[in-house]
Amino acid sequence: MSDHEDKGAVPGGAANNRRSFLRNAGVGTAAAASSVIAAPAIVRAQSPIRWRLQTYSGAPLGAHVIKPHIDAFNKAANGEMEIELYYADQLVPTAELFRALQNGTIDAVQSDDATMASPADVGVFGGYFPFSCRFSLDLPVMFERYGLNQIWKEAYDEIDGVEWLCAGAWDPLHVFTREPIKSLADMNGKRVFGVPTAGRFLSRYGLIPVTVPWDDVEVSIQTGELDGVAWCGFTEAYEVGWADVCSYALTNNICGAWCGSYFANSESWAKVPPHLQQLFLSTADQSHYYRQVWYWGGEAQLRVTGEKMELTSIPADEWAQVVKDAEEFWDEIAQTSERAARVVQIYKDYTKVQEAAGYPYR
Sign of the torsion formed by the C-alpha atoms of 174, 180, 182 and 183 = negative
Q: Distance between terminal CA atoms of the chain? A: 106
For residue 132, pLDDT beyond 80:
yes
Provide DSSP, 172-195.
PEEEEESS---SGGGGTT-EEEE-
Residues in the chain: 362
Whether the upstream peptide bond of residue 360 has omega within 30° of 0, thus cis, is: yes
Residues 6+ apart with CB under 8 A from 224: none
Model confidence at 20, pLDDT cuts 50, 70, 90, reads very low
Return the pLDDT at 195.
Answer: 85
In degrees rounded to 5, what are phi and psi of residue 265?
-65, 135
For residue 6, pLDDT beyond 80:
no
Each residue's pLDDT tens digit, 301-342: 999 999 999 999 999 999 999 999 999 999 999 999 999 999
Whether 73 and 67 have beta carbons less than 8 Å apart is answered as no
Pairing of strands 259-265, 108-111: antiparallel
The HSE-up count of residue 310 (CA atoms within 13 Å, CB side) is: 7
Would you list the domain boundaries of the chain? 47-122+133-172+256-305
CATH number of 47-122+133-172+256-305: 3.40.190.170
CA dist 253 → 54, 107, 147, 163, 319 (Å)? 28, 34, 25, 32, 10
For residue 92, pLDDT beyond 60:
yes
Exposed e or buried b for every residue in 127-145, given b needs 16+ CB within 10 A?
bbbbbbbbbbebbbbbbee
Whether 207 and 187 have beta carbons less than 8 Å apart is answered as yes
- Can you give the C-alpha Rg of the chain in angstroms? 30
Whether 87 and 57 have beta carbons less than 8 Å apart is answered as yes
Each residue's pLDDT tens digit, 193-217: 998 999 999 999 999 999 999 999 9
Return the pLDDT at 265.
Answer: 98
Each residue's pLDDT tens digit, 107-118: 999 999 999 999
Each residue's pLDDT tens digit, 212-269: 999 999 999 999 999 999 999 999 999 999 999 999 999 999 999 999 999 999 999 9
Pairing of strands 208-210, 191-194: parallel
Residues 6+ apart with CB under 8 A from 135: 256, 257
The rounded distance, in Å, linking the Cα atoms of 124 and 176 is 23
For residue 120, pLDDT beyond 70:
yes
Return the pLDDT at 46.
Answer: 75
CA neighbor of 249 nearest in space, from 315, 299, 310: 310
Average pLDDT over residues 101-110: 98
Element spanning 138, H or E: helix 138-145
Whether 249 and 232 have beta carbons less than 8 Å apart is answered as no
Each residue's pLDDT tens digit, 282-301: 999 999 999 999 999 999 99
Q: What mean pLDDT, rounded, does the chain reach?
A: 89
3-state helix, strand, coil in the chain (%, to 5): 50, 15, 30
The pTM score is 0.85
The rounded distance, in Å, linking the Cα atoms of 176 and 193 is 10
Return the pLDDT at 359.
Answer: 86
For residue 169, pLDDT beyond 50:
yes
Model confidence at 33, pLDDT cuts 50, 70, 90, reads very low
